[in-house]
């Protein structure tokens, strides 16, 4: 009996890939058995956010998606976000801001924040809370995570405003 009787093709971290899978397999299991283990299992029910990945740029729970649902689409995981040589701005602020305690939620936090930065240009507190409400952290009380995100988002908002400002002058 073939455990993985169907194939699904999608772009994974910028690379077109084809995977053998099963109709009932979820994206989290596929990613982890394919060596992308930065995406974590926390609940399997879409309630904790440890398995957050980007699907066409939006944060989603990999544990809730059948692999079949991502056919032809673009999936980004934490492995595409940073490296030892070059962490993303969000990762760097989380590291510098002592926001990483047990760290199990952090890849998911990074992915949600990355989606927020891509999708929006204004980052008032309410928007940030709404984008981040699917990532549970039990260690930090969120204060340090919040601080790290705020610093990144404030800088980005300021630089976007500057670009806009200079654009309107010219």
In the complex, minimum distance from the CB of residue 160 to other proteins, in angstroms, rounded to a whole number: 18
Footprint of other proteins on 101-120 (CB under 8 A): 101-107, 110, 112
Size of the site for other proteins (CB under 8 A): 77
Give the nearest distance from C-beta 38 to other proteins in angstroms: 2
Closest CB 159 distance from other proteins, rounded Å: 22
Of 109-168, binders to other proteins (CB under 8 A) are 110, 112, 128-146
Q: Measuring CA to CA, which residue among 152, 47, 28, 16 is closest to residue 90?
A: 152
Terminal alpha carbon distance of the chain: 66
Residue nearer to other proteins on the CB measure, 39 or 153: 39
Shortest Cβ distance from residue 163 to other proteins (Å)? 22
- Please list every residue from 17 through 76 that binds other proteins, using CB under 8 A: 23-24, 32-33, 37-50, 52, 55, 58-61, 64-66, 68-69, 71
Residues whose CB falls within 8 Å of the CB of residue 84, separated by 6 or more in sequence, listed in order: none
Kindly tell me which residue out of 12, 27, 75, 77 binds other proteins, with binding defined by CB under 8 A: 77
In the bound state with other proteins, the residue whose beta carbon lies nearer, of 3 and 166, is: 3
79 contacts other proteins (rule: CB under 8 A): yes
- Least distance from other proteins to the Cβ atom of residue 72, Å: 8
Question: Between residues 37 and 156, which has the closer beta carbon with respect to other proteins?
Answer: 37
77: left (phi over 0), alpha (psi -120 to 50) or beta: beta
């Amino acid at each position: 009996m073939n455990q993985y009787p169907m194939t699904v093709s999608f772009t994974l971290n910028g690379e077109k890939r084809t995977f053998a899978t099963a109709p009932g397999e979820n994206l989290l299991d596929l990613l982890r058995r394919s060596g992308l283990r930065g995406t974590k299992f926390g609940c399997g029910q879409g309630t904790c956010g440890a398995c957050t990945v980007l699907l066409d740029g939006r944060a989603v729970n990999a544990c809730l998606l059948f692999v079949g649902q991502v056919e032809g689409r673009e999936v980004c995981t934490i492995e595409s976000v940073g490296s030892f040589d070059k962490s993303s701005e969000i990762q760097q602020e989380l590291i510098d801001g002592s926001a990483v305690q047990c760290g199990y939620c952090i890849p998911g936090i990074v992915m949600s924040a990355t989606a927020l930065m891509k999708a929006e240009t204004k980052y008032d507190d309410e928007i940030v809370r709404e984008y981040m409400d699917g990532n549970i952290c039990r260690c930090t009380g969120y204060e340090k995570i919040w601080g790290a995100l705020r610093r990144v988002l404030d800088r980005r908002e300021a630089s976007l405003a500057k670009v806009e400002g200079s654009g309107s002058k010219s």
